[in-house]
């Protein structure tokens, strides 16, 4: 099994920042010129890695981990500025468009006006006859694009992506119903194809620029999908669903120190026996597209490939579940046989079984080291202390699911004070003269870890107002944004010193 070193083959530092968090004038971070300017900024700071969150369409509560498609891009991230430069939008089209500043994405306010402009641009593109490049895109991506476009069109017709609530002939994909829908929804289907083309074109331009600047982009693959997704609608036999398409077993994690009832995520689980019978064909297609889009890929909840918590769908919490064996090494070998070495980072946080640890190590996959975890459970042998990092790992101050470093150290309450005191005690003297967060960042950069990646919020010393996600909550997540002033306020010399270390 190839390691990420095949792609990122030298010690490198970088920044974690989702696309939707980029500065822009249109309410949400987007692809196009704004993202290209971000790459130039990274380059000016000596950073070689840009890590993002999933690019697929966001689902319930705007979560990128509850996607309606494993293959499509999130059209809300298409750069309006780029469409304006391409002549597909005019300045007058933006009359009445809501102001786009601030440090939060207001999804309720921006989604409708952005969709209006996106569909207007798509209509003009089609009215002009499209392009040869667009025709090639549609032909190459046909195996997933046609079903995705039809699913989106039907979701609009029935005002919901919850396909089990659709009329039975559409829920069950009867051929006559689908043929009829393709005739009735020609415009809607064509529009979605064009939007995916816009997304792919802008993303490809971004990848080219990143390559020119020697910046590697690390993507993120959620292991599970939303029930309201085209993947489940099309491939019911590959998931634990009953005859009507309802989930029979769902994903989550059992009760632990943090939650007496565990976490019931609700995503339908895979029928791994059925995937094995098809030689993992669906996964091979999914992985092939993902690794074509990124230089390396963080795979979420890696443990589930070894063993996972299965919860009966009728259970309201995660208490009454059971551990079930995952597909294991056979799965990864099958993917490698078709796709070659997989540039994968294993998200191995939480309580890992011996089976999961052994699987990660047999595959020689780098895992994660989260420094803030060392302050909550401090002991000399903690794997989250920089002095104990191994080379084959990716180190972070924190993740998108954690409180920011500033909130952890300077927030209200006794626990924050304890963490700060501990950090000051254990920080090596050569880093103790700096701000404690900067000292920790420098310490990580000097560790054995091959890659160190820092959430932008930690570099800016931002607190709870900038937290990206609070697990087990659904309000206010996935919405923090960076503004241009904050980006320019970063100490570039400090970031250059991190890159040098």
C-alpha radius of gyration, the chain, whole number: 23
Q: Which two tokens stand for residue 146?
A: 């046609």
Out of 30, 147, 192, 347, the active site residue is 347
Contact between 226 and 267 under an 8 Å Cβ cutoff? The reply is yes
Residue 16 dihedral angles phi and psi, to the nearest 5°: -95, 115
**401 flagged as catalytic:** yes
Question: 103-125 b/e with 16+ CB inside 10 Å = b?
Answer: eebebeebeebbeebbbbbbebb
Whole-angstrom CA distances from 454 to 15, 372, 398 are 5, 12, 7
State both tokens at 313. 């769908």
Reference 199, options 88, 98, 288, 83; nearest CA is 83
325 is catalytic: no
Which of 128, 277, 401, 465 is catalytic? The answer is: 401
CA geometry: angle 307, 309, 314, nearest 5 deg? 150
How many other C-beta atoms lie within 10 A of the C-beta of residue 427? Answer: 18
**Cα–Cα distance measured from residue 184 to residue 17, given in angstroms and rounded to the nearest whole number:** 41
Strands (E), 152-233: 216-221
The Cα–Cα gap between 501 and 495 comes to 10
User: Quick one: CA dihedral 302, 308, 311, 313, positive or negative?
Assistant: positive
- Number of alpha carbons in the 13 Å side-chain half-sphere of residue 427: 22
Residues contacting residue 155 through CB under 8 Å, at least 6 positions apart: 68, 161, 163
- Which of 86, 93, 162, 300 is labelled catalytic? 300
Query: CA angle, 73 as apex, 67 and 79 as ends, to 5°?
Result: 130
Task: Note if 300 is an active site residue.
Answer: yes
CA nearest to 441, candidates 392, 360, 501: 501
How many CB atoms lie under 10 A from the CB of residue 214?
9
Which active-site residues does the annotation give? 300, 347, 401
């Amino acid at each position: 099994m190839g390691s990420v070193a095949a792609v990122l083959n030298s010690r490198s530092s970088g920044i974690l920042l989702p696309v939707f968090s980029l500065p822009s004038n249109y309410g949400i971070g987007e692809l196009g010129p704004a993202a290209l300017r971000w790459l130039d900024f990274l380059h000016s700071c000596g950073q070689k890695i840009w890590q993002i969150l999933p690019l697929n369409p966001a689902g319930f509560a705007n979560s990128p981990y509850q996607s309606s498609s494993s293959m499509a891009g999130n059209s809300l991230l298409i750069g309006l500025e780029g469409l304006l430069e391409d002549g597909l939008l005019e300045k007058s089209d933006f009359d009445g468009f809501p102001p786009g500043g601030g440090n939060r994405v207001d999804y309720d306010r921006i989604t409708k006006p952005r969709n209006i402009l996106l569909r207007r641009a798509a209509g003009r593109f089609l009215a002009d006859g499209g392009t040869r490049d667009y025709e090639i895109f549609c032909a190459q991506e046909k195996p997933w694009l046609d079903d995705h476009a039809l699913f989106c069109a039907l979701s609009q017709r029935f005002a919901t992506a919850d396909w089990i609530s659709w009329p039975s002939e559409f829920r069950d994909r009867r051929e006559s119903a689908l043929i009829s829908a393709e005739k009735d929804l020609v415009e809607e289907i064509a529009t979605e194809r064009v939007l995916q083309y816009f997304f792919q074109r802008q993303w490809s331009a971004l990848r080219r620029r990143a390559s020119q600047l020697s910046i590697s982009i690390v993507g993120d693959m959620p292991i599970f999908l939303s029930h309201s997704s085209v993947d489940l609608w099309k491939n019911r036999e590959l998931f634990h669903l009953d005859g009507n398409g309802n989930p029979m077993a769902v994903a989550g994690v059992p009760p632990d120190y943090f939650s007496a009832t565990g976490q019931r995520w609700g995503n339908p689980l895979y029928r791994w026996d059925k995937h094995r019978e098809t030689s993992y064909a669906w996964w091979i297609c999914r992985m092939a597209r993902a690794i074509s889009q990124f230089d390396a890929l963080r795979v979420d909840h890696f443990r589930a490939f070894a063993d996972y918590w299965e919860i009966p769908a009728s259970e309201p919490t995660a208490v009454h579940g059971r551990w079930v064996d995952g597909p294991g090494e056979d799965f990864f070998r099958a993917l490698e046989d078709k796709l070659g070495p997989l540039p994968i980072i294993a998200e191995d946080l939480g309580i890992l079984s011996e089976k999961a640890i052994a699987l990660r190590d047999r595959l020689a996959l780098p895992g994660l080291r989260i420094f803030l975890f060392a302050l909550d459970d401090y002991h000399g042998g903690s794997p989250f202390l920089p002095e104990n990092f191994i080379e084959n790992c990716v180190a972070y101050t924190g993740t998108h699911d954690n409180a920011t470093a500033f909130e952890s150290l300077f927030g209200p309450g006794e626990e924050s004070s304890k963490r700060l005191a501990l950090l000051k005690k254990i920080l090596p003297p050569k880093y103790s003269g700096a701000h404690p967060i900067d000292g920790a960042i420098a310490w990580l950069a000097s560790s054995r870890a091959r890659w160190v990646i820092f959430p932008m919020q930690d570099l800016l010393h931002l607190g709870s107002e900038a937290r990206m996600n609070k697990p087990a909550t659904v309000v206010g997540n996935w919405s923090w944004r960076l503004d241009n002033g904050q980006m320019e306020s970063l100490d570039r010399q400090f970031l250059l010193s991190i890159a040098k270390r």
